[in-house]
Amino acid sequence: MADKASSSCATGEVEEVYGAESGWVEARNSCGHLQSLSSDLHHIPSPDSPCTRCQHSAENWLCLSCKDVLCSRFINKHMLDHHQKTGHCLVLSFSDLSVWCFACEAYLNVQKIQPLQPVYEVVHLLKFGERPPFLPINSSE
């Protein structure tokens, strides 16, 4: 039988790996702001596009409303400024293809939110040259 010290140590290790210290977050499976999502899939910029304001080439995000490409809050905060000025809240990271909603203040689960899948698929194809492997949707959830 494990003693309390080793048990709490194991719990602490798990919290360190999976908790706030690791930066891991649970993506949301729904979002009330999908109406701002543009249906235009023909004018999506290349994932290597620079920020349209400062020309920085890393950490750029695609606005899913107007298709502007702007840098992250870790560079010059141009996408955050864009959200604050326009109210456009859905953005996709060209770095890791994650989707963020500024209004929800959360990452969104592209595997579970079907309206995000077409734009995700196009950007994945542009970045990697192949379609993404979507998980099958389980209708019982």
Distance CA 92, CA 101 (A): 9
Distance CA 49, CA 125 (A): 15
At 72 the pLDDT is: 96
Question: Under DSSP, is residue 65 helix (H, G, I), strand (E, B) or coil?
Answer: coil
Across all residues in the chain, what is the average pLDDT? 85
Residue 39's Cβ-count burial label (10 Å; 0-12, 13-18, 19+) is exposed
Candidates 3.30.40.10, 3.30.390.50, 2.10.77.10, 3.10.150.10; CATH matching 31-128: 3.30.40.10
At 22 the pLDDT is: 52
Torsional sign, CA 45, 115, 28, 34: positive
Q: What is the percentage of the chain residues whose pLDDT exceeds 90? A: 75
Residue 116 has a CB neighbour count (10 Å cut-off) of 20
CB contact burial 94-115 (16+ within 10 A = b; e otherwise): beebbbbbbeeeebbbbbbbee
Of the listed ranges 49-53, 86-90, 129-133, 136-140, the least confidently predicted one is 136-140
At 102 the pLDDT is: 97
Distance CA 136, CA 19 (A): 28
At 28 the pLDDT is: 96
Q: Where are the domains of the chain?
A: 31-128
pLDDT at 8 over 60: no
Question: Under DSSP, is residue 118 helix (H, G, I), strand (E, B) or coil?
Answer: helix
- The predicted-structure confidence for 13-33, as pLDDT tens digits, reads as follows 444 444 445 567 789 999 999
At 6 the pLDDT is: 42
